[in-house]
Amino acid sequence: MSQIDFSIPRLQSFNGIFLIFFTDLVKRVRQNIYLIAIPFFKNNVFENYGTYIYIGLAALVILQFVFSYLSYKKFKFSIQEDAFHLDKGVIKLSHIEIPFERIQNINLQQNIFQQILNVVGFEIETAGEGLAEINIKALDKDFANELKAKLIEEKQKIAANEEATAENEEVSSASSINQDKLELKEQSTLFQLDFTTLLKVGVSSNLFKGVGLLLAFFAYLYNFVMDFLTNIYDLNLEEDFKNRIPETITFITFLIFGILIIGFLITIFTTVLKYYNLKIIKSQKNFEVEHGLLKKINKVIKKSKTQIFEIRTNPLKNLFKIRSVHVSQAASNQVTEKQKINLVGLSKDNLTILFKSLFQLELYEQDFQLAKSQNRLFIRYFYKNLIVIIGLSAVAYFFYFNWASGIAMVLIFATLLWLSYLKVKKSNIGFNSELISIRKGSLDTKFKIVEIHKLQSIRLSRNIFQQKNGHADLVLETASGTTTIEYLEVNEATNLLNYLIFKVESIDKDWI
C-alpha cells in the first residue's frame, strides 16, 4: 500500500532538531527552576556576577544544542520483519524492539512547538509490562500516517496468523486497531463539548491551581520590587510595614481577593485551552478522545486496558449538572494525573452511555454494599495537620510574629480540621459482584470504580495503634496504581479481603 521502505533506519523530520532542542531546553529550565529563587537569598547577584551568568547561560544553551543535535542524529527507527526497532542515546546507547503484537495504541499528537514546526509526535503504547513506551517527537504528518498504517497492517497479519486462538485478547485488540483504521466509516461522536459547558468546566474546576501559579509569580515579583526599591530609595520597607499594620491588613485583604479573582480567571483560561473542542468518538469497542487548542491531544480508551474509572464532582459541578471522568489505563508505573485520560463536562446521560459501553453495566443501577472509614481516622488527620501547623507557626514566629499571624494560624488550622472531618465522613469502599467503588474527597468527591478482576494484589496494613484499637487500612493494587482505604474496622477489612480475593480467583477474566 505504501511506497515508503520502512526497513531502512531513518531519522526524524529535519525540523525535529529544533523541536528536540526546544523541548530539551524547556525541560532543563523546568529542572532548574529553583535557581530563580537565588535572588531571594542574595542581593545584587546580577550586579556582581552579571557577565559571568550570561556567558555561562550562553555556553549551556550551546552545549544543549550540540547535545540535542547528537540525540537527533542517533535517534533511528525502522520496521524489520517482526518488530519495530529503535536506536537512541548519545552517551548511553539503547536499542528498543517492539514486536508488533505488543503494540496496543498508536497516538499522534501536536503540541504548540510541533504545530509551528509542522511535525507530529508519534507515540506507541505497549501493554504495561515495564517496557518503555516509544515517543518519536517529530515526523512529517504524511509519513506518520503511513507509518501508523504500516504498523497496524503488520499487527493484523500477525493476528490473522493466530486465528486459531480466536478468543485471545490479542485478536480483539488487533481488531480494535483495525477499527481505528476504519473509523472514518464507523465512528460515531458520542460527545462533543460546547463552549458554554467548557466555561462551566473552567468555573467549577479547582481554582487553587491557578492561585498557586499566581502566588509563586507574586512572591518572585515582590522580592524583585523590594530589592529594587530598597536599593534605589534607600528606605526600609519592612520596618514601614510593621509600623502600619492596620493599613497593611486592608491592603493584604485586597491583595488576597485580587489574587483569588485573577487565579480564577487563569484557571478558566487554562481549562479552556486544555479542553477546547473535547470530542469523544466511539468506535465499536474503544473511545477516542481529542482535545486541546494549543496542544492537541488524541488518546484512545481501550476497554481491556481500562483499570480505574474515576468520577469527580464538587458542589459547583453539581450546580451545573456536569461531572468529569478520569480514566486510568494499565501502565508500568503509578499513573500520574497527567497520564489519566480526562473527560470533562459530561452530563448524566453521557456518563451512563460511556460507563455502559466500557463495562456493559448500568452505572446508576449499581447497588454497592458499603464499608465506611471509622471516625478514628480523624485522629490521624488531626496529627498530620498539627505537624503542618507547627511547621508554619515556627516559620511565622521567626519571620514576622504578631497577633494577625496568630489568628491566621488558628483559622488555617480550623479549616484543615474541617476539611479532614469532611474527608473522614466521605471515605468509604463499596462492592458488589462485579465492581468495587471507592469514595474519597473533602469538598469535592472522587468516586473510583474498579472491576474486581482488575485487582493485582490486596494488602491489609495496620500500624501499632491500629493493631490495638482494631482497625486496618485496606490497600488495593491495580495495574495503574495503588488505592488505600484508611481505617476500616478490622473484621470488615478482613471480610472484604477474603471476598475480593475469592472473586479475583474465581472470575475467569484477565486484567488486560
Partner 1 sequence: MKFENLEISLSDLPDFKSVDLEPIQRRYKKLIWLNEASIFILLYTFSISGFFFDKFPSWISFAAIGILSVFFLLRAIEIEKGFPLKKFGVRQYDMIYQSGFFYFTETVVPYKRIQHVEIKQGPLSRLFSLYSLRLYTAGASSGDLIIDGLDKSTAQKLKAKVLDKTTVEDVTD
Residues that bind partner 1 (CB under 8 A): 128-129, 330, 333-334, 433, 455-464, 467, 475, 477-479, 481-482, 494-495, 497-499, 501-502, 504-508, 510-512
* Closer residue to partner 1 in complex, CB, 276/359: 359
Concatenated DSSP letters of 133-176: PEEEEEE-HHHHHHHHHHHHHHHHHHHHHTTTSTT-HHHHHHHH
Rounded to a whole number of angstroms, the minimum distance from the CB of residue 152 to partner 1 is 25
Rounded to a whole number of angstroms, the minimum distance from the CB of residue 318 to partner 1 is 32
* Closer residue to partner 1 in complex, CB, 260/504: 504
Query: How far is Cα 454 from Cα 503, in angstroms, rounded to an integer?
Result: 10
**Are 150 and 6 a contacting pair, CB within 8 Å?**
yes
Q: Which residues, 6+ apart, have CB-to-CB distance to 135 below 8 Å?
A: 121, 122, 123, 124
* Closer residue to partner 1 in complex, CB, 250/433: 433
Query: How far is Cα 128 from Cα 436, in angstroms, rounded to an integer?
Result: 22
Burial of 123 (0-12, 13-18, 19+ CB in 10 A): middle
* Closer residue to partner 1 in complex, CB, 262/475: 475
Query: How far is Cα 354 from Cα 29, in angstroms, rounded to an integer?
Result: 40
Rounded to a whole number of angstroms, the minimum distance from the CB of residue 431 to partner 1 is 11
* Closer residue to partner 1 in complex, CB, 139/327: 327
* Closer residue to partner 1 in complex, CB, 365/510: 510
Rounded to a whole number of angstroms, the minimum distance from the CB of residue 218 to partner 1 is 37
Rounded to a whole number of angstroms, the minimum distance from the CB of residue 475 to partner 1 is 8
Rounded to a whole number of angstroms, the minimum distance from the CB of residue 338 to partner 1 is 17
* Neighbour count for residue 200 (Cβ, 10 Å): 22
**Residue type at 81?**
E
* Closer residue to partner 1 in complex, CB, 301/450: 450
The x, y and z cell numbers of residue 80, run together, are 524489520
Query: How far is Cα 478 from Cα 475, in angstroms, rounded to an integer?
Result: 10
Hey, is 89 helix, strand or coil?
coil
Query: How far is Cα 195 from Cα 275, in angstroms, rounded to an integer?
Result: 10
Rounded to a whole number of angstroms, the minimum distance from the CB of residue 130 to partner 1 is 9
